[in-house]
Structure 1
Amino acid sequence: MNPQPHHEWEEKLTELHEHLVSAVEALVTGDEWKRALEFVARFRSRSFNNTLLIWSQHDAAYRRGLVPDPVPSYVAGFKQWQTLGRHVVAGQKGYMIFAPVTARFASSSPSDPGSWRRLNPSERPRSGEVVRPRMIGVKPAYVWDVSQTDGQPLPDSSTPHLLKGEAPAGLWDGLASLVRGDGFSLSLAQDAQTLGGANGMTGFGLRAVTVRADMDAAARVKTLAHELAHIRMHEPNGEARSHRGTGEVEAESVALMIGAAHGMDTTAYTIPYVSTWAASVSGTTAVEVVQATGERVRRTAVAILDQLPTAQSGAGDTPGLDRSKPAQVIADTAPKPSTAQTAVQRGALTL
C-alpha cells in the first residue's frame, strides 16, 4: 500500500482523536451526561465514541446553519446512501468517525493465544489452520446525516411515544423476567421509608430486588431497569463497587437508555455531574473514565434491550440499510501506530 495514505490516516486520526477528547471533556466538565445518553440510546448500534463524534460534529454543522435539525436522525456512508437511492448534497461535509482496520490471522491451535500468526494479503493458510480476522487499528471514515442527502424517501420507522408517567407496554414484565432469570427475587415495598429512603434496592447477598410501590408506573419501571443494571454490572468486589458514584451513574445511565429506547419522558431523571466521580478514580484520567463508562453503559443497555420483547425505537440503523456486516478495511501492511490506534491497543478506545 502506498505510504502516503498512511500519512494521511495519521493526520486525520490525530485530528479525530483530539475531537473525541474534546467531546468527552464536555461531558466531564458540564451537565451534558443525561442529554448525551439520550442521544446514545437513539444511536446505540454504534460505539459510544463514534456516537459522540457524530453528535458533536452534527451540532457544529447545525450551529453553522448547514443542517436543518439540531439532532441527526439517520447516518450512513457515501456509498451506503447510494444503495438506498439517495446521494449526498454537494457541499455537505461528512462526519468523521473511527472505522476498524483488520488483518487475517491463522492458527492450527485456536485455543492457544500465542499460536496465531498474521497472514500476508495473498497468503493462504496451511492445511488444518483456522483463519480469523482481527482488529489491528483504526482509520478515519465518513458518514452523512439523512438531512445532508437527497433522493428516494426512506421506509417509515415507527417510534413509541408515551404520556408522562406512563410505562411502556410490557416493559415491567420484561425487566422482571430478566431479573428473575439472573437468579434474583423481585418484590414491592410499600414506600421509600421501607427502603431507607431509596426508590429501589438490590441485595446481592439475598439475591433480591425491591422497588417502591408508591410511584407512578414510569418511575417504577425506570427503577427496575436501574436495579437490573446493578445486577449486570456491579457484582460485589468489582471495580464499580469500590467507587459508589461510578456504579450509581452507570446504573442510572442504563435505565435512562432503556427508557429513551421506549419513548419514555426522561426529563425528570437526575444524573450527577460526571466530574465528581470521574476524577475520583486513581491511575487514569477523567476522560478515559468517561469513555470506558459510556461504552460499558451502552453495551449493557443494548444487551438488555435485545432481550426485551417490547416495542422499541430504532437503534440508529438507517431504514433499508443492512449493517449486520459492517464494512472493514483489510490492511496489507501495518500502518505506523497513531494516537488513536495506540488507544485501541490498550483498550481505551472502543469501536
Structure 2
Amino acid sequence: MTGHRSGNRLVALDGLRLLAALMVVLYHYVALARPWGHSTATIFPTAHRFAEYGWLGVEVFFLISGFVICMSAWGRTVGEFAVSRLSRLFPAYWAGILLSATVITMWPEVASLHGWGGVITNLTMLQGGNNTPDVDPVYWTLFVELKFYLITAVVLLFGVTYRNCLILCGVWTAAAALAPVLNTPLLTAFAVPQYAPFFIAGIAFHLMRRYRPNAVLWAIVILQLLLAQRYIGYRMATNLGRVTAQALPTWPARFLILAAFAAIAAIALGALDRIQWKWLTYAGALTYPLYLVHMNIGMTLIHHYQGRIPALVLVISVTVLMLATAWLIHRTIERPLGKWLRNVMRSGIDDVRRHVTPLPPTRTDLTDLSEPDVDHVADSIGT
C-alpha cells in the first residue's frame, strides 16, 4: 500500500506537547521541596497529590518524539535529517543554557554552577556522555533524544520504509528487553530500556497514521504499553525518592501512561483531526523553550519570593513569566538563528557532496575486466 501524508498539521499533537510540558512544570514547582525549602504537602495539599506524577510528562514527550521523528525522517537523507534536527534543537538550547547559567550565577539559591568549563561542555549537548553535570537537570532528556536520533540516522542509511521501521521496532524491543540481563553498558546506553517503549510505540503509531492500523502495529503498541509498566517503580523512586515512592500508589502513573497512549492513538487514527485551533500551534512552539528554561530559573524565583507572595499566585506568576520567556526565545532566537543554522548546514553538506566523488578504478582493475565490463565501469563514473 502506498504511504500518504496528511495535509493538515496535527494541531492536537501540539496541544498534547504543551500539556506534557505543563505537567513537568507542575511537578517541579508544586511537588518538589527544593524551591520552597520544605515539603509542599502543607502548601498545596490537593495539587501536591497530582503534581507528584507530573514527571510523566517526560514519558509523554518520548512517545510524541517517536511519532514526530519517524514522520520527520521519512523521505530524507541522513544529511537532511541532521540539518532538520540540529537546527531545531540547538538555538533555543544555547539560549536556555546561557540564561540559566546567568541566573544561577547571580542567585545561587537552589542551584549552582560546577564551573564555566562545564557550561561550555553543555553547549555541545553531549555532556551526558562524559559525566559533565547538566547546567539544568532537565537537559538529561536531550541526551536520550540524541540517542534516538542516532538510531534513526542508522535506519536512514538503509532507507526509512515501512519494512525497515518494523525491523527497527523489533530489534530495539529485543535489545531493550535483553539489556538489563546482559548487563552490557554499551547496549544499555543505546537501548535505553526505561524509555524505549515510548519511542517504539510512537513509531508504530506514526505507521498507523501514514498507512493504516493493522494487527501487527497494534501488537507492537500493546507490547510497548506492557513493557512500559516494568519501570514505573524505578521512575517514581528516581523522581520522588524511594521512601516517598513506596508510600504512593502506582495506579495513577499507569493510568496516565495509558491515557497518553490513547491520545496518540486518537491522533494516529485521525479522530482529533478536527481540532485546528490556531492558538495550539503557537502554544506548541513554546513547549521546547519552556521546558529548557523553566526549572532552575523558575525554582530560583519561587525560592526568592516564597513567603512574600501567596504560594498559588507565585506559582502562576512564575509559570506565566516562563511562558513569556519561552515566547521571546522562540521569536528572537530560535526562529532566526534556526533559519541561519539551517542554511549554513545545508550549504556545508552541499559543499561536501560536490567534493566527495567516487574514485575511478585503477588500470589494474580495468585489465581484469572483459571489454563490455570496462564500458560499463566507464559509463558509471561518467567518463
TM-score by length of 2: 0.24
TM-score by length of 1: 0.26
